[in-house]
Structure 1
Amino acid sequence: MGSRARKIRVALLAAAMAATGSFSGVASQASAESRTQLNASQIVADMGAGWNLGNQLEANSNGYPSETAWGQPTVTQALIDKVKAAGFKTIRIPVSYLNNIGPGPNYTINSGWLNRIQQVVNYAYNRGLYVLINMHGDGYKTINGSWLICDSSSQAAIKAKYQKVWQQIATRFQGYDQHLILESMNEEFDGQFGRPTQPCYSNINAYNQIFVDTVRKAGGNNTSRWLLVPGWNTNIDYTAGNYGFTLPTDQYRSPSIPSAEQRIMISVHYYSPWDFAGEESGTITQWGRAATNPAKKSTWGQEDYLDSQLKLMHDKFVTRGYPVVVGEYGSIDKSSFDSANNRYRADFARAIVSTSKKYGAVSVYWDNGANGRYGFGLFDRRSYAVTQQGIIDAVMAGLR
């Protein structure tokens, strides 16, 4: 998540704890294209309900990623098993690299960090879950060590670094089958919440193209892997509308992929209306047609708006064979202001999941590990207890 997420994260610890848990080997890896290749509609159905391991591998302190830097415990197999037991079939793992990338021209990723990323991926991948990993915080100007800045004057160096980093990631995971999906970046934009600017959007398009070309050339299952790319700030209007987004070409993909099929997905996020989903006040606590108090319900962003937004993505991309991934959605806990709030949060989640399914999209709930006021959490990451069974039930109901 972008700057909005930082408003709702748990308080930063004064000093980051080093990530514990050593690298313990790799997943059992399938040979290239050894499993059945799923087309667009098949993989969307198979990915089912998704969940974000938020505020962990993208957490950072003083420019260095650390999974405990934002107050969360070390990620464990037990946590991932709990998420799977709750019914989720896809886990998105946001990842930051920052100062764990060495100097040019090689831009070598710290081996311990890359090993830990792979270990956490394996927690989910070895359980048969779909796993999405991305480059999450490296494009935020507000984060120490960020460098993927679309309006920087140093684009040649940025693009060279970006290419080298993704080359290393893709090579590390080249033996993983279609259950691993790589995502080029997160909420990439110039940091201003307004209309897209040029040439910043052109640079975002260039990053996506470098990503696709680099991953494909890394070989192995990367030649047929599903790849996920965003438009401007993962914003639906700025991705589907006429604002400058261009789909990357896919000239290096495996010749075994039927010519009529794609292997590229489009990433968007959904937090509308923000005054319900993310604003930290007790004012707007209800959502949807079941809301009982008009004063507590936003004047926009209800079911009809949600439907129109995902229809935009369907008509622009899904109809052309490009699946859509709503890589983040959710709403913060305001039950301390309104005891009925969690019911509306569940309604919101159910509507997003069901509308996503209606329009051929995958939806992945944003869990930032925080429970209680303003938290997105569905689980306690220390005890592994489910904290919001009603929202989980709503997510699963949305798929039916």
Structure 2
Amino acid sequence: MVSKVVKIRVIVIAVMLALAASVPGLTNQTSANTVTQSSASQIVADMGAGWNLGNQLEANIDGVPSETAWGNPAVTQALIDEVKAAGFGTIRIPVSYLNTIGPGPDYTIDSAWLNRIQQVVDYAYNRDMYVVINIHGDGFKTIDGSWLICDASSQSEIKAKYQRVWEQVASMFQDYGQRLILESMNEEFTGDYGEPTEPCYSNINDYNQIFVDTVRRAGGNNSSRWLLVPGWNTNIDYTAGDYGFTIPTDEYRDPSIPSDEQRIMISVHYYDPWEFAGEESGTFTQWGAAATDPSRTPTWGQEDFLDSQLKKMYDRFVVQGYPVVVGEYGSIDKSSFDSSNNGYRADYAYAVAATATKYGAATIYWDNGANGQYGFGLFDRNSYAVTQQGIIDAIMSGVGSGGSGRA
């Protein structure tokens, strides 16, 4: 159960979010936009609270994927059952392929690796959960064997390989229903944290278009399944703003889907302010309206900033019928520096989940399996025990908040 202190903090955050709920534009959408939002709001509601199986199927040693390479044990049905029992309705499974992909022109993925991916997907899918799978580490320059590099010179080869990978993955899962969502890639960018550049952004748009066209043509339920695509580095400003992101066309989808209904979702990640959420330092350990020590609290990235960022996604995509998925969010454990830190981590998780709900977006918490200092873990992956019940309770409360003020 959540401690009394955490409950008070969550109430304070809820009040702050409610005060921000009267946002111009949210209650003045046209009736046409209301129609196009119907399928988007339904899929988000059905997904519920989400959880990432991080540092498992995207882990690797020297470019060879191995789910135990980064210190986590092999994934089991018992772990997934515990995640579901905690209240999560969606599991995102990051996947790397790397050196399991054979040479061109066939680019055949190792069958044993594909079979293991399917087995882990089935752990969740067969428990009536939503499952998201992607191409994850193949686009990181720092990973051995990476190849999905948007500023590399060999784009013709990269795009042919990318298409073949998705042909194989989509074909394997063609008979799975709408609870399986395919995500084109992860945090794709040059590796430099400045503004987007060309031709890299154009290549990212090309990858997304190849993904949509390839999956749609792969047979079975792929013609109608939900597909998830990111912009530059899953960054909200560089996706919602005027920086070059293009929503893929969807001309090969099942003709039975109504013309005013989308089947493409937009992916972003949220770790702001990084000083609190991700920086491995004991300097900033508090966040939000309930913070008591200004010296431990970042001066930016508070509730008002969070609200404004997710409103950008609402205004650009949700009103047009494109669901938004915050595919990663969370904050690392700094309780070794400040015993109150986990309470603020719960505040943060609640605020992201509740604000996303308010703006019609789904959320998927990032769990890397690590507990203790700098870990994101909510569960012990060896014993399956819950390690951060307060954060889980906050997530469930945020997702179940009804998005106070949402249109």
Report the TM-score, using the length of structure 2 for normalisation: 0.89
Counterpart of 1:66, as a letter, is S
Compute the RMSD of aligned alpha carbons.
Answer: 0.5
- The secondary structure found in structure 2 opposite 1:372 is coil
Deviations 1:310-336, CA, capped at 9 Å, x for gaps? 000000000000000000000000000
Deviations 1:266-321, CA, capped at 9 Å, x for gaps? 00000000000000110000000000000000000000000000000000000000
How far does residue 391 in structure 1 lie from its aligned partner after superposition? 0.1
Number of the residue aligned with 2:270 = 270
Number of the residue aligned with 2:285 = 285
Number of the residue aligned with 1:99 = 99
Distance 1:174 1:322 in 2: 22
What is the aligned-residue identity percentage?
79
Distance 1:281 1:61 in 2: 27
Distance 1:200 1:46 in 2: 34
Counterpart of 2:348, as a letter, is F
- The secondary structure found in structure 2 opposite 1:238 is helix
Distance 1:229 1:124 in 2: 22
Counterpart of 2:369, as a letter, is G
Number of the residue aligned with 1:326 = 326
How far does residue 219 in structure 1 lie from its aligned partner after superposition? 1.3
Number of the residue aligned with 1:155 = 155
Number of the residue aligned with 1:335 = 335
How far does residue 373 in structure 1 lie from its aligned partner after superposition? 0.1
Distance 1:283 1:199 in 2: 38
How far does residue 134 in structure 1 lie from its aligned partner after superposition? 0.2
Counterpart of 1:90, as a letter, is T
Which consecutive unaligned segments of at least 5 residues does structure 2 have?
1-37, 401-407
Distance 1:254 1:43 in 2: 18
Q: Is residue 182 from structure 1 mapped to residue 182 from structure 2 by the alignment?
A: yes
Number of the residue aligned with 1:258 = 258
Number of the residue aligned with 2:73 = 73
Number of the residue aligned with 1:210 = 210
Structure 1 ranges of 4+ moved more than 4 A = none
Number of the residue aligned with 2:167 = 167
Counterpart of 1:375, as a letter, is G
- The secondary structure found in structure 2 opposite 1:325 is strand
Number of the residue aligned with 1:384 = 384
Distance 2:338 2:129 in 1: 36
How far does residue 40 in structure 1 lie from its aligned partner after superposition? 1.1
Distance 1:349 1:256 in 2: 38
Number of the residue aligned with 2:354 = 354
Distance 1:399 1:148 in 2: 34
Number of the residue aligned with 1:370 = 370
Distance 1:229 1:390 in 2: 31
Counterpart of 1:197, as a letter, is T
How far does residue 42 in structure 1 lie from its aligned partner after superposition? 0.6
Deviations 1:244-268, CA, capped at 9 Å, x for gaps? 1000000000001000000000000
Distance 1:176 1:389 in 2: 32
Distance 2:110 2:270 in 1: 33
Higher relative contact order (CA closer than 8 Å, sequence separation 6+): 2
Distance 2:224 2:41 in 1: 16
Number of the residue aligned with 2:42 = 42
Higher helix share goes to which structure?
2
Number of the residue aligned with 1:13 = none
Distance 1:94 1:375 in 2: 18
Distance 1:250 1:203 in 2: 18
Counterpart of 2:74, as a letter, is T
Counterpart of 1:120, as a letter, is V
Distance 1:56 1:138 in 2: 14
Number of the residue aligned with 2:112 = 112
Number of the residue aligned with 1:129 = 129
Number of the residue aligned with 2:10 = none
Counterpart of 1:226, as a letter, is W
Number of the residue aligned with 1:235 = 235
How far does residue 399 in structure 1 lie from its aligned partner after superposition? 1.7
Q: Is residue 56 from structure 1 mapped to residue 56 from structure 2 by the alignment?
A: yes
Counterpart of 2:295, as a letter, is A
Counterpart of 1:365, as a letter, is Y
Number of the residue aligned with 1:21 = none
- The secondary structure found in structure 1 opposite 2:176 is coil
Distance 1:317 1:39 in 2: 13
Counterpart of 1:170, as a letter, is A
Number of the residue aligned with 1:143 = 143
Number of the residue aligned with 1:31 = none
Distance 2:101 2:169 in 1: 12
How far does residue 51 in structure 1 lie from its aligned partner after superposition? 0.1
Number of the residue aligned with 1:4 = none
Distance 2:92 2:399 in 1: 18
- The secondary structure found in structure 1 opposite 2:113 is helix
Distance 2:292 2:341 in 1: 11
Number of the residue aligned with 1:244 = 244
How far does residue 137 in structure 1 lie from its aligned partner after superposition? 0.2
Deviations 1:137-193, CA, capped at 9 Å, x for gaps? 000000000000000000000000000000000000000000000000000000000
- The secondary structure found in structure 2 opposite 1:198 is coil
Q: Is residue 397 from structure 1 mapped to residue 397 from structure 2 by the alignment?
A: yes
Distance 1:63 1:396 in 2: 36
Deviations 1:84-121, CA, capped at 9 Å, x for gaps? 00000000000000000000000000000000000000
How far does residue 56 in structure 1 lie from its aligned partner after superposition? 0.1
How far does residue 39 in structure 1 lie from its aligned partner after superposition? 1.7
Report the TM-score, using the length of structure 1 for normalisation: 0.90
Number of the residue aligned with 2:220 = 220
Distance 1:172 1:223 in 2: 14
Distance 1:43 1:399 in 2: 14
